Every structure is written in structure tokens, then in C-alpha cells.
């Protein structure tokens, strides 16, 4: 699959996700992703450091999960991008009371003085996924590079059910997830 084909697939999946979320009743949007499903929570050691993201647009929402994790004593961190697109993403210590600053692409992130940390679990956003737990993101490769540097971290995707496709084109640098959950189900991979 060419880069152009991957870009078209991304565009199609983003449009599908946006339409799906726009069509959800407000009650479903409010209740979805409020807590971690028990199979996911069972895989996360108590007190472990969890990388989570601040949802934007039609991404699977994280606000309630941030509170859920914080209240249960998990240490949180957020992705922090470098100053240029060539720099990799790191994870910075963060708690819900900490102020966020605009980062690259205007994405809110922890301040530069927040300590860089190594997460035990990475809850990751995505554009699409398949039953083999391959994921496609926005195309910059930040999460794939982070996963390669964190081989022992539990990789968990969060997505709406409409983001699933039969199969994704895989690149040599793509790193599959260990598990994924949607508003409807939990999918565990062989590595899980």
C-alpha cells in the first residue's frame, strides 16, 4: 500500500469516526469510556504509571478515565512532543491538577519542567484498528517509535467500535497493541 493509499484510508476512517460520534445520543457519549473494563484493569498492576492522552475531537474520550485512574492511585503521565516534527514523543509526569501548556500542533501537554518518565502502561489513541490489534494513527509515527523504546509497556488502544476494519496494511515499524477496548467490547491479542 502506498503512502497515498494510507492517507486515503486515514481520511476515510477519520470521517467515519466523526460521523459515528456525531450520531451518538448524548447519553451514550456521556457513559462511554467512564471506567476501564475489568479485563483491562486486571492487567494493570496497582500503582503502575499509566500514559494516557487528552482526547481531541472525536477521539475516544479520556476525561472520565483520567479521574478513574487518578482516584485508584495510578501515577499518570501524558505525551509531550518536541519542538520540531522530527523529535520523538516522550512521556511527562502529570496529575489532573497540573496546568498544561500548548505544545507542538497546539496539543496541550505537560510543561517543559515536568519530569520525563517511563510508563508501565500506554493507553493510546488511534485512527483505526483491525482484529489482530494492528493500529493506524495520524501518520507521524510517534506512538510506534515510543512503543519500540518501551518494549515492556502494556500497549492498550482506545477506540470507538466504528474504527475497526478487517485488516490494516502493516509497515515494518508498526507495533501491534496487546489489547484494545471500545464502547462495546474488549479485544485481547495473543501477546496479552
Which residue has better confidence, 105 or 102? 102
* pLDDT reading at 139 higher than 90: no
Is the pTM here over 0.85, yes or no? Answer: yes
Q: How confident is the model at residue 107 (pLDDT cuts 50, 70, 90)?
A: confident
Q: For all residues of the chain together, what is the average pLDDT?
A: 91
Average pLDDT (120-144) is 93
Report the alpha-carbon distance of residue 30 to residue 142 in Å, rounded. 29
User: How confident is the model at residue 151, as a pLDDT?
Assistant: 92
* pLDDT reading at 118 higher than 60: yes
Domain count, the chain: 1
Average pLDDT (81-89) is 70
Q: Count CB neighbours of 156 within 10 A.
A: 25
Instruction: Summarize pLDDT for 153-190 with one digit per residue, the tens.
Output: 999 999 999 999 999 988 888 899 999 999 999 999 86
CATH code, domain carrying 132: 3.40.50.10420
User: How confident is the model at residue 53, as a pLDDT?
Assistant: 94
Backbone angles phi, psi at 102, to 5 degrees: -70, 130
Q: How confident is the model at residue 192 (pLDDT cuts 50, 70, 90)?
A: very low
Domain hosting residue 139, numbered range: 3-188
With a CB cutoff of 8 Å and minimum separation 6, the contacts of 108 are 54, 100, 101, 102
Closest CA to 153 of 94, 66, 96, 91: 91
Which residue has better confidence, 40 or 105? 40
User: Strand (E) positions, the chain?
Assistant: 49-51, 75-80, 90-94, 100-102, 108-110, 116-117, 121-124, 128-129, 135-136, 154-158, 179-181, 186-188
Amino acid at each position: 500500500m502506498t503512502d497515498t493509499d494510507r492517507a486515503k484510508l486515514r481520511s476515510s476512517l477519520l470521517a467515519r469516526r466523526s460521523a459515528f460520534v456525531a450520531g451518538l445520543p448524548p447519553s451514550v457519549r456521556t457513559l462511554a469510556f467512564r471506567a476501564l473494563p475489568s479485563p483491562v484493569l486486571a492487567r494493570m498492576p496497582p500503582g503502575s504509571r499509566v500514559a494516557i492522552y487528552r482526547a481531541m475531537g472525536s477521539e475516544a474520550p479520556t476525561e472520565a478515565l483520567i479521574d478513574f485512574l487518578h482516584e485508584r492511585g495510578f501515577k499518570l503521565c501524558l505525551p509531550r512532543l518536541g519542538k520540531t516534527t522530527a523529535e520523538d514523543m516522550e512521556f511527562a509526569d502529570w496529575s489532573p491538577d497540573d496546568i498544561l501548556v500548548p505544545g507542538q500542533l497546539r496539543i496541550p501537554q505537560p510543561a517543559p519542567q515536568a519530569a520525563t518518565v517511563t510508563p508501565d502502561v500506554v493507553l493510546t489513541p488511534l485512527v483505526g484498528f483491525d482484529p489482530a490489534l494492528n493500529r493506524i494513527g495520524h501518520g507521524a509515527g510517534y506512538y510506534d517509535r515510543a512503543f519500540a523504546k518501551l518494549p515492556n509497556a502494556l500497549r492498550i488502544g482506545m477506540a470507538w467500535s466504528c474504527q475497526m476494519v478487517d485488516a490494516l496494511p502493516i509497515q515494518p515499524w508498526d507495533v501491534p497493541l496487546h489489547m484494545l477496548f471500545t464502547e462495546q467490547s474488549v479485544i485481547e491479542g495473543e501477546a496479552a
